[in-house]
Amino acid sequence: MAVNLPSLLFGLGIAYIIFIFLRNQLEKLRRPLPPGPKGLPLVGNLRDLPKPGEFEAHHWLKHKEKYGRISSVSVLRQSIIIVNDAELARELLERRSAKYSSRPKQIFITEIVGWGKLLGMSPYNKRFRIMRKTLSPVIGSNAALAQFSDLQAAQVGHFLLHTLRDSENFLGHIRKAVGEFILKITYGYTAEPHRDDVLITMNGKAAEQFGSAAVPGAFMVDLFPFLRKVPDWVPGTGWKKTARQWSAELKAVADIPYQFVRRQVAQGRHETSFMSRLIEAGGSDPETAGVVATFYLAMTIYPEAQERGQEEIDRIIGKDRLPTLADRENLPYIDAIVKETFRWNPLVPMGLPHESTEDDVCEGYSIPKGSMVFANIWHFTHDPDVYAEPEAFKPERFLAGDGREPEPSPHRFVFGFGRRICPGRLLADNSLFLFVAQSLAVFRMSKGSEADGTEAEVKPRFQARVLSPPLPFNSIVKPRSRHHEILINSLEDIYPWQESDAKELTDIARLD
C-alpha cells in the first residue's frame, strides 16, 4: 500500500502540536504558585492579610526577605500575587500588558457602590479602550495641556491668596484649589471662592469612601459574594446600608454636575469643558492634593531643601514675579523637588490591583488566570539599591554632579504601569510644579509650636490606606517678606474671584 507522504507529515505535525500543547498544560498544572505563607484549610491566607491600620507596602515588603521578589497568598481560592521588584513589575505589567491590564472584580466597590463605571476601576474591555483613546487628545501630551495653563495658574494664585489670609488652614486650601481646577475643566463650573463648596465637599467625601472601599477584602461580600442575597435583617449585614448610602452619594457626584451642564447648555451659558471625557477618568483632585500636601510636609521637615529651592528661584526668576510653567527648564532644582515629592511618598503605595486575564508563568511559578497582581510601588521608590538614603528627602539625587549620575526618575513607577498608567499624569505633574515653584517663591514653611511654646515634632506620617496623603501636621506658613506679601496680594487683580455656580447646583439637587 502506497503511503501519502504529505498527508503523513501533516498528521505527524498536528500530533506534535497537540503533544506540545498538552505537555505545556500539564507543566502549568505542576508549577506551583509563587512562594508564600502556608494557609489554613478553606480560608487560605486570610489571617496573613494586612491588619486594619497597617501600612500595606511595609507588610508586603516582608515577603521579599522571606520568599524573594515575587510571592503569593490565596484567600478563598483567590490568588494574590505580590511583586517586590521594579523590573519584574515592568516585565509583567508593561511588557506582558496584554495579560495584566484588567481590574479584578471587587464586588462591593465596583458593582454595588458603582465605582466600576469609572476608568480607573473598569475592566480592560472595548469601553475602557475607547475612554482612553478619547482622553488622549485632551490630556495626553504637553501640547494638549497648554490649553489649561491659565486655569492652573489661577488655581495656584487663589491658593496663595487664601493661604496668606488664613495660613492655619493651608491643607484645606490645597484641597479647595485643586478641586476648583478639576471642576472648572471638567464641567465649566465655578466653585465658591471664599467658603466651602458643595461639589468639592461631595467629591472629597466620595474620595474618602473610595479609600476605605478599595482595599481588597475590606468588605466580606468581596470574599463571600453570596452575602449580596442575604436579607438586610440578618445580623452582620450593616454593610448593605453603607453601600446604599455610598452608592447614592457617588451617583449624586456624577448626576448633579451633569444636570448643571445640561442646564447651562439649554440657557446658552455653557463654558467649554471636557466633562464627557474627564468625568469617566475619575478626576485627579484627591491624588494631586495629597502630593501637594506631601511637598509642604517635606519643606517643613527639610528647611535646607526649601532654602536651596528659594535661592534658585531668586537667582533665576527674581523677586518681582512668580515662576511659570515656561520657566521649568531653567529651574533644575525645583524640578528635582517635584520628582522627589513623588518619590518620597508615592500616593498610591501598592497601586491599584491588576488582574491576569490568562494563565501565565513567571520565573517558573504559575500565575493563574484571575489572579490579583499588586506592585509594591512604595518599595520601588525606597529601594536602597536604587536610591541612596531613601527615607530622606534629597532632591539633589536627581541632579548630576561631582561625577555622580542622577538617580532614576520616579515617574516610571508612581503613575502605574502599562495600559493602566494614569491618564492624568502630565496634568498632575504640571500642577505640582506650579504649587512647588510659586509656594517656594513667596512662602516660608517651618515647624509650628506646641501649647507650651516648644517647637512641634513633625515627622513623615501618612495614612495607611489605598491613598496615603500625609496625616495632619503642625506647620507655620508665612510670607517670606513684606515684598512677597504685596506680590501675593497683587494676584487678586490678575485672577479676580468669580461668582460661584454653587447656588445653581443646590437648586438642581433640590429638584432631584
- Which residues make up each annotated binding site for heme? 422
Which residues, listed in sequence order, are joined to residue 362 by a DSSP beta bridge? 365
Tell me the backbone φ, ψ of residue 478, rounded to 5 degrees: -135, 155
Going by the annotation, the residues of the binding site are: 422
User: Computed from CA positions of residues 136, 137, 142, 146, in that sequence, does the dihedral angle turn out positive or negative?
Assistant: negative
- The whole-angstrom separation of Cα 226 and Cα 118 is 25
| Residue (of 374, 372, 376, 381) closest to 412 by Cα position | 381
Half-sphere exposure of 298 (CA within 13 A, CB side): 28
List strand residue ranges (DSSP E) for 150-284, in order: none
Residue pair 467/287 in contact by the 8 Å Cβ criterion: yes
Residue pair 44/77 in contact by the 8 Å Cβ criterion: yes
Rg of the Cα atoms in the chain: 26
Which residues, listed in sequence order, are joined to residue 82 by a DSSP beta bridge? 71, 374
User: Computed from CA positions of residues 331, 332, 335, 336, in that sequence, does the dihedral angle turn out positive or negative?
Assistant: negative
Residue 91 DSSP symbol = I
Residue with cell 471636557: 274
| Residue (of 73, 85, 6, 25) closest to 417 by Cα position | 85
Residue 21: partners with Cβ closer than 8 Å, 6 or more residues away: none
Using CA atoms in the order 43, 47, 52, 56, what is the torsion angle rounded to 10 degrees? -100
Grid coordinates representing 163?
Answer: 493661604
Which residues, listed in sequence order, are joined to residue 479 by a DSSP beta bridge? 443
- The whole-angstrom separation of Cα 329 and Cα 432 is 15
Grid coordinates representing 443?
Answer: 512662602
Write the DSSP assignment of 215-228 as a string of letters.
Answer: STTSSHHHH-GGGG
Characterize the bridge pairing of strands 78-83 and 372-375: parallel
The per-type count for the chain, helices as H runs and strands as E runs, is 21, 8
Grid coordinates representing 278?
Answer: 474627564
Residue with cell 490565596: 74
Query: Is residue 40 helix, strand or coil?
Result: strand
| Residue (of 127, 100, 115, 108) closest to 237 by Cα position | 108
Query: Is residue 477 helix, strand or coil?
Result: strand
